[in-house]
Chain A
Amino acid sequence: MARIIGSMSASHVPAVGNAIARGLQEDPYWKPFFDGFTPAQKWLAEVKPDVAVVFSNDHGLNFFLDKMPIFAIGAAPSYPSADEGWGIPVNDPWPGIPPLSWHIANHVVEEEFDPVICQQMLIDHAVCLPMACFFEDCGRNKGYRPVKIVPVGINTVQFPMPSLKRCFEFGRAIGRAIESYPEDLKVVLIGTGGLSHQLEGERAGHLNKKFDTYCMDCIAGDPSPLLGLSNVDLVEQAGTAGLEFMNWMTMRGALLGEVREVTRTYHIPISNTAAAVQVLEQLPRLAAAAE
């Protein structure tokens, strides 16, 4: 059976793609950010996942406002990226695993969630940059593809959006789906985006270290205090783009067992963002406990 070995969460900022393209990993501005991935890379070298299920939000590359799904599941054999409007080099595609994607889709619909299923999907910086940092040694080992991916898209762009509670429960269903997949695969969950930042309005530049720390504590420990938070409350605390924390909550929902925090870093600012990296290991569980 497939097994979820843990989760990795990381902010996604387009400027990181620019920094990778320019080889700035050792630059004083960027080094504290990129160095935050080193413990995660060491953990990955030990646990060697086969698949990454990646929770993120599209920023106007794959989806437009003509059709904006609340939840979307990729079921493509390959996920290319593309120019997002800034002309920086495009990342190589990531391979998909359609049988697992369809298994997840079937399972979550049985549990009464209704995602859009995408047999073609472009992945933007929200997928490509955390993947580059975790798996391609922050862009130094470009094109390295040790895992297949299942991208899960969450609408954090346009109200109405799913609540944190709904995201968490959707994640729960995805976790149960993964753990009922018959093939022996090691699966790592990746949640991208956040933490606090706001790009637009007279309040641009809003950051909230105290709240972000609280969120990371809840992710590492008990996430239930966050379930009652409305999306507008989340904006008030973490800024409009802090809504991307929904991706983290969906990811956290899919961790069905006990977890241990492997590493955490938090750095302000990367571009206008409070940039975080957090890795949790899920402790092995008895099969019966998974029911």
Chain B
Amino acid sequence: MAEQKQIFGTYLFGAEAAQKGYALNNMCFTFNDKANRDAFLADPEGYCRKYGLNEEQIKAVLAKDVIGLLKAGGNIYYLAKLTGIYGLNMQDIGAIQTGMTVDQFKAKLVAAGK
């Protein structure tokens, strides 16, 4: 099975996360619509509750805790719509998850191309 091999710092999105994160990802899916993004920003916690997120998920959403969101079953393609609302790009998210500064994270990317 796909989940058997462990790769450091890597969350494979399969049966377990797909079920656990369904409400969270479903909420993120609504963010394709600007009216929903605005409604979220007006009341983040209320919006989370409306979509049935559990306490672990709500806590991670409000804290912008990307690793916490992954552990709560979030899929990155959906989470990107949430972090986009907060104005965070992929380097910002990369820095948050790896404990680097954004400049350090960018430098790491550039170094990989050398």
Tell me the interface secondary structure of chain B in the complex: helix
B48 at the interface (CB under 8 A from A): no
List the B residue with the shortest CB-CB distance to A241: B76
Q: In the complex, how many angstroms separate the beta carbon of A98 from the nearest chain B beta carbon? A: 26
A222 at the interface (CB under 8 A from B): no
Instruction: Please measure, in the bound complex, the distance between the C-alpha atom of A120 and the C-alpha atom of B13, giving whole angstroms.
Output: 27
Count class of interface residues, chain A? 35 or more
A262 at the interface (CB under 8 A from B): no
A61 at the interface (CB under 8 A from B): yes
Name the contact of A60 in the complex, choosing from B78, B89, B112 (C-beta under 8 A). B78
A160 at the interface (CB under 8 A from B): yes
Chain A residues with Cβ below 8 Å from B113 are 207, 209, 267-269, 274
Name the contact of B25 in the complex, choosing from A65, A198, A231, A269 (C-beta under 8 A). A65
Instruction: Please measure, in the bound complex, the distance between the C-alpha atom of A70 and the C-alpha atom of B2, giving whole angstroms.
Output: 16
On whether the beta carbons of A202 and B67 are closer than 8 Å, the reply is: yes
On whether the beta carbons of B7 and A232 are closer than 8 Å, the reply is: yes
On whether the beta carbons of A85 and B5 are closer than 8 Å, the reply is: no
Q: In the complex, how many angstroms separate the beta carbon of A30 from the nearest chain B beta carbon? A: 14
Name the contact of B8 in the complex, choosing from A87, A202, A241, A272 (C-beta under 8 A). A202
On whether the beta carbons of B8 and A203 are closer than 8 Å, the reply is: yes
Question: Knowing A82-B32, A272-B91 touch, does A198 contact B10 (C-beta < 8 A)?
Answer: yes
Question: CB within 8 Å of B: which residues of A?
Answer: 14-15, 59-61, 64-66, 82-87, 157-161, 198-205, 207-209, 231-232, 235-236, 240-241, 267-269, 271-272, 274
Name 5 A/B residue pairs within 8 A (Cβ), A-sorted: A83-B32, A198-B10, A200-B66, A202-B98, A204-B97
